[in-house]
Structure 1
């Protein structure tokens, strides 16, 4: 497997996570009969934030991961960034959706670590 192919797997998993979180929002919107906003529904608010938070962090980091792999980063770097970030996103989604603060906290730390890893990796591969 090439680094680009490995990055594609992480990108696919993160797309599926976004899809799943979106599906949960749609399901709750239908149940609560709310077409715009959250209508004061606390469960819809939680689901909307879980999806929104993922949508804020996933695209730019996955772009960074793909560029990192495309520039010839070693496989260990692609897997470190992709694995840490993806685990963080999954833990954060679980923690936020089920109000499990330790999972949410660890998820954000791993998310930020993956983001910083992508940025550092990009700077490294462009200067070596």
Structure 2
């Protein structure tokens, strides 16, 4: 028998798994770029490699607390729909942000929208965690 807690944990697992797959894809892009430009460490001053490295780095910097927050939401009894909302918003935000970094130079609408969605996801998670912790 599946309990509501298991549903929330399954939601956290789903979105965390998808974010980890995205990390692997972006990591592969960085490795490919380093091989192409014969750079063993860092970005070698190459703007495409710098963008790929930052797309990966930004994902790790924001997805990691998001994944932890989703697991904690499940642990404190938040409903699965809340975990799905946080996870979906975070994933879409990170995809849009990465695309903005990889395919546009300078400030881009993709980066702005991606960050806004990421902040909405993390703010929702933070408020949910605090609310479920004190209730």
Fold equivalence (TM over 0.5): yes
- Which of 109, 118, 127 does residue 125 from structure 2 map onto? 118
1:56 equivalent to 2:61? Answer: yes
In the other structure, the counterpart of 1:32 is 37
| Alignment RMSD | 1.2
Secondary structure of the 2:131 match is helix
Find the aligned partners of 1:89 and 1:42 in 2 and give their Cα distance.
20
d(CA) in 2 for partners of 1:11 and 1:37?
27
- Partner residue in 1 for 2:78: 73
- How many residues get paired? 128
Structure 2: give runs of 5+ residues left out of the alignment: 1-5
Q: How far does residue 127 in structure 1 lie from its aligned partner after superposition?
A: 1.3
Aligned to 1:10: 15
TM-score by length of 1: 0.95
Q: Runs of 5+ in structure 1 lacking a partner?
A: none
